[in-house]
Amino acid sequence: MNKLTINRGTIKEFGGKYTNYITFVFLFIVLGILTRGGSMQLTSLQNLVIAESVRAFAALGVGMIIITRGIDLSIGFMVCLTTSIAASFAQNPDYSSAMYPGVNFPLFLPILTAIAVGTLFGAFNGVLVAYAKLPPFIATLGTMSLARGIQLIYTQAKVVGSVKDNYKAIAQGFIGPLPNLVIYVAVAAFIVWLILKHTRLGTNFYAIGGNPQAARVAGINVEANLVVVYAIAGFLYGVAGVLQASRLGLANSLTGQGMELDAIAAVTVGGISQSGGVGTMGGMLVGVLTMGIINYGMTYLSIDSYYQLLVKGTIIIIAVYFDMRKNARKA
């Protein structure tokens, strides 16, 4: 009887610890059944990871922010802005509607410029939250509007097209069966894992998310660390913009729209606690893939995109509800 009780307790503990991974495997199997194995073919898997790769960068960024008890609503339009900037510097110089006609910029310029803009925007978010003491929701809601306005002014609400082939090859290429985008995500994920698990910075993020006052008493510069985490997130949004411009070969005022919902939903499903101080890099990526499978499944079942938004919103509400219940039981 005791053995049975221990086994049940072990199973319950295992299920609670790896719920997000179990959910991902379950949905993957269900999708395979619905598509009669079509979703498990190499081409389908490649399409899935390519489609979710840019969101993965956004999820890695906002995931670290949420670990520190923050939030970032500016993701979508920051990616939109950085995508437009990257595309504008990567246009063919002889394109009739080029933003810089006749100028052939070197390949590194659109990459560095977009990443720099994303990092600066992220740091600005951090300053508003850490030093201006604005709630993260309000601060990033304001910068979301700023990024949107700057993008529209910069592009004059026009499509930024005709991106050079050598720039498009950055995201559209393959190394063997692996898309380039998967390799970029793997590198970014490894760096985030190192930061969270093997650096003082990552320890500080968890401490701030767990209890900001206790972190301050322990000698952690809470304000400086918050600026850094938002700047790192902005850096990742900049990379997302670079890759988005390369993958699509263009940018417009709708590029990246709604990505904040996708990223926040993904990390929430992946076990990043909205209460702060809890979460892993693996959970972030599993959450991205889980949401990708849900999107793929709804598209396969011909569910209208409007209804897909309802599903994503419901998923966030349910995931946060269970996260709050779990934290309440711990307390």
Token pair belonging to 251: 């940018």
Mean pLDDT of 290-294: 87
Mean pLDDT of 279-287: 92
Give the pLDDT score at 1: 47
The CATH class given to the 24-330 domain equals mainly alpha
Give the pLDDT score at 13: 55
Count Cβ atoms below 10 Å from residue 161 Cβ, excluding itself. Answer: 16
- Report the share of the chain in percent with pLDDT over 90: 64
Give the pLDDT score at 318: 83
Is the model's pTM score more than 0.85?
A: yes
Output the DSSP codes for 266-291: HHHHTT--TTSS---HHHHHHHHHHH
- Mention every residue, 6+ apart, whose C-beta is less than 8 A from residue 267: 59, 62, 63, 66, 279, 283, 284, 287
Q: Are 301 and 293 in contact (CB under 8 A)?
A: no
Give the model confidence (pLDDT) of 198-252 as tens digits: 999 999 999 999 999 999 999 999 999 999 999 999 999 999 999 999 999 999 9
How far apart (Å, rounded) are the C-alpha atoms in residues 18 and 16? 6
Give the CA distances from residue 11 to residues 19, 197, 280, in Å, rounded to whole numbers and listed in that order. Answer: 11, 26, 21
Choose among 157, 146, 172, 186: nearest CA to 90: 172
